[in-house]
Structure formats: structure tokens, C-alpha cells
Structure 1
């Protein structure tokens, strides 16, 4: 591990974090494999949710459920995208 990396350079905040102070961070020094697995997990979960929605009828859903579903999809895809961005930056170094 590179000990000269400052905490502000090492930890990348997730863009999906609400508020001014991010509570969820990506460790940019984590192995690329671990970062890719975390990204894949989130993107797969979003994809599975979309596939489920494709198979269902929105007539069966309550209108208040739609914003909840959209929020979950946003969080999963944004977090996966943030993780992939860190991997891309690591590979460019």
C-alpha cells in the first residue's frame, strides 16, 4: 500500500451520496478485482430489478412504488458507475 497517499486522494466519495458530507466512499487503493466485483454486483442488481419490472405490469404496482424503484435503480447504477470510474483511473496510471 502506498503510504504517501493522502486520505482525500485515497477515498473517492460516491456521487449518489446525499448531503454535503459523503458517508460512503470508495477506497481507490482497493484491488481492481475488488472494485470490479463491487461494480458488477451493483450493476447486476439493477439489471435484475429492471428485468423484473419488464415482466410485471405497472397496473399491479402502487403509484408510490415507482419513485422508490427509480431511486433504487439510480443508487445501484450510479454506485456501479463510480466504481468503474475508479478502476478506469487506476488502469490509466
Structure 2
């Protein structure tokens, strides 16, 4: 796995960008608490969606909805993980 050095590049493109010109980035110099809050928000949203799906009967769902649900869960969890990664690297570079 490639190690990303936040001290070299301030804005880290999210892996979930679809184009070669990323429009969504993480500010690697953002406050640690802001990074954790943003990660928490996305991971909780994904968890809430999973909990809702767990309680639903899939017999009532349309097959075309499954890729949409998976895409939403992927975006939320991937972005949350990347935010956590930057927050973790901030701690590593402070010591």
C-alpha cells in the first residue's frame, strides 16, 4: 500500500472521484477534530443505511435498487476511511 505524506500535498483527492480531475478532496491540514467529525458522519450514515436494509424485506425491493444501495454504501465508507487515514497520519507526523 502506498503511504501518503500529507506534508507534501495539502489536498488529497478522494478515491471515489470518477474523473481524472478530482473535485472532491480532503484537506490534509484541516483540524483533526473536523476530519474525525466528517469521517464519523459518513460511517454512521453507512451504518444507519445498513441497519435500515437489515430491517427491510428484500422481496419488496426492486432489483435495480441494489447497485444504487451498494454505490451509496461504498461512497460513504470509502470517504470515511480516507478521512480517518488522514487523521491518523496527522497524529503520526506530530510525533
Report if TM-score (shorter chain) is over 0.5: yes
Check if 1:27 corresponds to 2:27. yes
- Equivalenced residue count is 88
Alpha-carbon distance between aligned partners in 2 of 1:41 and 1:29, rounded to the nearest angstrom: 19
Gaps of 5+ in 2: 1-5
List structure 1 runs of 4+ shifted beyond 3 angstroms.
Answer: none
Q: Counterparts in 2 of 1:9-88, with a 5 A limit?
A: 9-88=9-88
Q: CA deviation at 1:19?
A: 1.5
**CA-atom RMSD in angstroms:** 1.5
TM-score calculated relative to the size of structure 2: 0.88
Secondary structure of the structure 2 residue equivalent to 1:9: coil
Find the aligned partners of 1:60 and 1:52 in 2 and give their Cα distance.
14
Stretches of structure 1 that go unaligned for 5 or more consecutive residues are: none
Measure how far apart 1:21 and its partner are. 1.2
Taking structure 1 as the reference length, the TM-score comes to: 0.90
